[in-house]
């Protein structure tokens, strides 16, 4: 990425990248912020390593979690997530 584009997007530091690691991995942040973090992570071995470890952990957990939650519980969780996403953030 060019220096001009990096300046336009705004610099991202390790602290910010690690603070928003889960939002980054889940693509749950505005595209502009995702781009800023992506640029930093691609250039920072420390943050790239943290992303890699979290992705590996997610694979292991997904493989290990073979039980399915009861339908009623899944519905309650999905409903609550919908409510949380719809409510304004303070």
pLDDT value at residue 87: 81
Q: Which of 22, 13, 10, 3 is nearest to 41 (CA)?
A: 13
For residue range 40-83, what is the model confidence (pLDDT) as tens digits? Answer: 999 999 999 999 999 999 999 888 877 788 999 999 999 999 99
Residues 10-32 pLDDT 10s: 567 889 899 999 999 999 999 99
Between 70 and 4, residue with greater pLDDT:
70
Global confidence as pTM: 0.58
Q: Which residue, among 69, 4, 74, 78, has the nearest Cα to 39 in the 3D structure?
A: 4
Q: At a CB cut-off of 8 Å and minimum separation 6, what does 62 contact?
A: none
């Amino acid at each position: 990425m060019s220096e001009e584009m990096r300046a336009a997007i705004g610099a991202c530091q390790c602290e910010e990248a690690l603070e928003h690691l889960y939002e980054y991995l889940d693509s749950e942040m505005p595209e502009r912020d995702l781009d800023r973090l992506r640029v930093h992570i691609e250039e920072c071995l420390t943050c790239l390593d943290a992303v890699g470890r979290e992705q590996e952990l997610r694979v292991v957990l997904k493989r290990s979690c073979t039980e399915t939650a009861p339908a009623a519980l899944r519905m309650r969780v999905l409903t609550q997530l919908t409510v949380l996403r719809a409510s304004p953030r303070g």
